[in-house]
């Protein structure tokens, strides 16, 4: 190495050292401010005497309670030891290198779960300082969890009893589970967490929970009784159990776990931009997105997904048999309550029927249900759009404009993360894709999973009032084996008017 290079290197090392010192000082100062805020909030009654956080004196809700700890990650400046503080203090945020902060190592994308490490997000005693994830368990239900704690219905340190809760079937592992590019929005070992990481729970009293659960059940849909009557589905006693069209199914519930660098990469943005937006737009709910650059995992407060598998689960990943798949995004109004303004429930039922048929033919059938109500815009926005459509002229040519006018975008489902579940299922190709969405198609193919055939919803299953939606979607790029209408033709596709809706 030339002496000039060496000098430059030494100067750089000095600078980095100074920056580290500055970060350490800053971290201490912020901590001091936090302590003042806490003192202030107590004196103003922000922390009530009746609060469960106050009652449980044994719950350390501050990260700086262990002055003897020395296990800070190398290269991180440690703040000077500080006296333990009162357990009722609120932690507004934490900092890397802050005293007592010892995240459990997390090597996302490592195939060996022992080397990978558990996802640790709980703020319970004995766990709060070891977290390697931001957010909370339960997705959107974390808020109900907060209500249960606040109202005193639930003890903050409740330890779940996982006896007999293990997966109903063995599943995986697949090579994809060890690829940090392929799975970025769920924990591939989430269904096994309490058993793989039992030592952390039993020996270190840490709160580690599953983010995936696998069970078996029967399901009955009135439409499938007709499928049997009309001869489309056959009773085989294994998948279709009887003349009522009752089905045997394996179900997988998945809560989101985001690996932030991977999520940012999928969207083609940098991690900092992603963290900043998540922090700002969620009302500043997760300050550690900003202060804890060392923590790469985030359990967001959003809905997850459910996989419905028909037939032998080992066939889902078998490249030698055919796979029929439907990816369905939630539409409560149609899926559950039978609204006829869209094709959601008819397409979902068609997807289930085709999945069952494929499984009965020796292949595999899978339906995946994502909690992304109303194109992830929610039902309030959706109903505003319905009103705007029906009060105006409900034309297919105007369909997306209504949504864009209200929400600013026509769709927020962002399918980029959706293929993770396919990688988790070990799927390497899809023989029959029961979806017309070009966005879903493109996201899957971009992830290296080929789709051999796309199957549109049959015309006879499309409710009259939903022609506006389906024709507008086809015009915008949805797959069809039929005709793509011109702009002029779309003008003539109209739905039920406001007068009819009011009846």
Task: Just list the catalytic residues.
Answer: 411, 413
- Under rule CB under 5 A, how many of the chain's residues touch Zn ion? 4
Q: Which is nearer to Zn ion, 155 or 339 (CB)?
A: 339
Q: Which is nearer to Zn ion, 72 or 501 (CB)?
A: 501
Burial 302-318 (b: 16+ CB within 10 A, else e): ebbbbbbbbbbbebbbe
Q: Which stretch binds Zn ion (CB under 5 A): 97-105, 229-237, 344-352, 435-443?
A: 344-352
Helices (H), 166-249: 193-196, 198-202, 222-229
Annotate each residue in 302-331 with x if it binds Zn ion (CB under 5 A) or - if it does not, as one string. -----------------------------x
Closest CB 382 distance from Zn ion, rounded Å: 8
- Tokens for 256? 């989101």
Closest CB 344 distance from Zn ion, rounded Å: 3
Length of the chain measured in residues? 503
Q: Which stretch binds Zn ion (CB under 5 A): 86-94, 150-158, 171-179, 335-343?
A: 335-343
Query: To the nearest 5 percent, what fractions of the chain are helix, strand and coil?
Result: 40, 10, 50
Closest CB 493 distance from Zn ion, rounded Å: 17
Contact 485, 463 (CB under 8 A): no
Cα diameter, the chain: 86
User: By CB under 5 A, is residue 470 in contact with Zn ion?
Assistant: no
Q: At what angle do helices 222-229 and 344-360 cross, to 10 degrees?
A: 50
Closest CB 337 distance from Zn ion, rounded Å: 10
Q: Is 441 left (phi over 0), alpha (psi -120 to 50) or beta?
A: alpha
**Over 98-122, what HEC string results?**
CCCCCCCCCCCCCCCHHHHCCCCCC
Q: Which is nearer to Zn ion, 354 or 373 (CB)?
A: 373
Q: Which is nearer to Zn ion, 420 or 469 (CB)?
A: 469
User: By CB under 5 A, is residue 348 in contact with Zn ion?
Assistant: no
Q: Which is nearer to Zn ion, 344 or 385 (CB)?
A: 344
Residue among 342, 265, 258, 270 nearest 304 (CA): 258
User: Degrees (nearest 5) of the Cα angle 264, 128, 80?
Assistant: 95
Closest CB 202 distance from Zn ion, rounded Å: 46
Closest CB 389 distance from Zn ion, rounded Å: 13
- Residues 403-462 touching Zn ion, rule: CB under 5 A, are none
User: By CB under 5 A, is residue 344 in contact with Zn ion?
Assistant: yes
Q: Which is nearer to Zn ion, 189 or 347 (CB)?
A: 347
Closest CB 331 distance from Zn ion, rounded Å: 3
Distance, in Å, from the CA atom of 61 to the CA atom of 87, rounded to the nearest integer, reads 6
User: By CB under 5 A, is residue 342 in contact with Zn ion?
Assistant: yes
Burial class (CB in 10 A: 0-12, 13-18, 19+), 476: middle
Distance, in Å, from the CA atom of 431 to the CA atom of 479, rounded to the nearest integer, reads 16
Q: Which of 334, 360, 364, 397 binds Zn ion (CB under 5 A)?
A: 334
Q: Which stretch binds Zn ion (CB under 5 A): 6-14, 272-280, 332-340, 455-463?
A: 332-340
Q: Is 162 helix (H, G, I), strand (E, B) or coil?
A: coil
The order of strands in the sheet holding 258-259 is 133-135, 297-299, 258-259
User: By CB under 5 A, is residue 79 in contact with Zn ion?
Assistant: no
Distance, in Å, from the CA atom of 126 to the CA atom of 281, rounded to the nearest integer, reads 31
Q: Which is nearer to Zn ion, 132 or 334 (CB)?
A: 334
Binding site for Zn ion (CB under 5 A): 331, 334, 342, 344
């Amino acid at each position: 190495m030339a002496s000039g290079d060496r000098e430059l290197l030494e100067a750089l090392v000095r600078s980095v050292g100074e920056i580290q010192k500055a970060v350490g000082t800053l971290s201490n100062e912020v901590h001091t401010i936090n302590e003042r805020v806490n003192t202030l909030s107590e004196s103003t009654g922000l922390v009530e005497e009746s609060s469960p956080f106050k009652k449980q004196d044994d719950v350390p809700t501050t990260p700086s309670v262990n002055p003897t700890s020395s296990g800070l990650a190398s290269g991180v400046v440690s703040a000077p030891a500080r006296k333990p503080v009162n357990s009722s203090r609120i932690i507004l945020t934490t900092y890397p290198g802050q005293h007592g902060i010892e995240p459990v190592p997390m090597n996302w994308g490592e195939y060996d779960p022992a080397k990978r490490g558990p996802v640790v997000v709980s703020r319970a005693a004995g766990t709060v300082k070891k977290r390697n994830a931001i957010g909370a368990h339960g997705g959107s239900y974390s808020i109900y969890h907060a209500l249960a704690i606040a109202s005193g219905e639930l003890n903050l340190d409740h330890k779940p009893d996982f006896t007999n809760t293990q997966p109903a079937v063995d599943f995986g592992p697949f090579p994809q589970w060890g690829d940090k590019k392929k799975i970025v929005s769920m924990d591939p070992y989430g269904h096994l967490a309490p058993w793989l990481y039992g030592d952390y729970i039993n020996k270190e009293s840490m709160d580690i929970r599953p983010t995936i659960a696998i069970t078996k059940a029967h399901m009955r849909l009135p439409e499938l009784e007709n499928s049997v009557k009309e001869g489309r589905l056959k009773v085989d006693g294994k998948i279709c159990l009887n003349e009522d069209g009752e089905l045997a199914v394996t179900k997988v519930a998945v809560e989101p776990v985001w690996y932030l660098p991977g999520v940012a990469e999928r969207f083609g943005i940098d991690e900092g931009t992603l963290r900043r937006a998540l922090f700002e737009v969620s009302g500043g709910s997760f300050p550690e997105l900003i202060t804890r650059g060392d923590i790469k995992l985030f359990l967001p407060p959003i809905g997850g997904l459910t996989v419905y598998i028909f037939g032998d689960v080992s066939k889902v990943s078998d490249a030698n048999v055919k796979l029929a798949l439907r990816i369905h995004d939630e539409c409560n109004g149609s899926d559950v309550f039978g609204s006829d303004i869209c094709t959601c429930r008819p397409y979902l039922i068609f997807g289930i029927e085709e999945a069952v048929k494929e499984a009965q033919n020796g292949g595999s059938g899978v339906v995946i249900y994502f909690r992304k109500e109303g194109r992830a815009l929610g039902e309030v926005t959706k109903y505003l759009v319905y009103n705007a459509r029906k009060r105006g002229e409900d034309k297919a040519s105007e369909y997306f404009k209504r949504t864009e006018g209200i929400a600013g975008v026509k769709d927020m489902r962002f399918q980029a993360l959706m293929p993770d579940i396919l990688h988790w299922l070990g799927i390497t190709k899809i023989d029959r894709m029961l979806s017309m969405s070009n966005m879903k198609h493109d996201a899957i193919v971009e992830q290296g999973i080929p789709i051999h055939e796309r199957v549109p919803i049959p015309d006879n299953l499309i409710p009259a009032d939903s022609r506006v939606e389906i024709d507008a979607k086809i015009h915008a790029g949805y797959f069809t084996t039929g005709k793509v209408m011109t702009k002029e033709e779309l003008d003539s596709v109209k739905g039920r008017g406001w007068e009819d809706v009011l009846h």
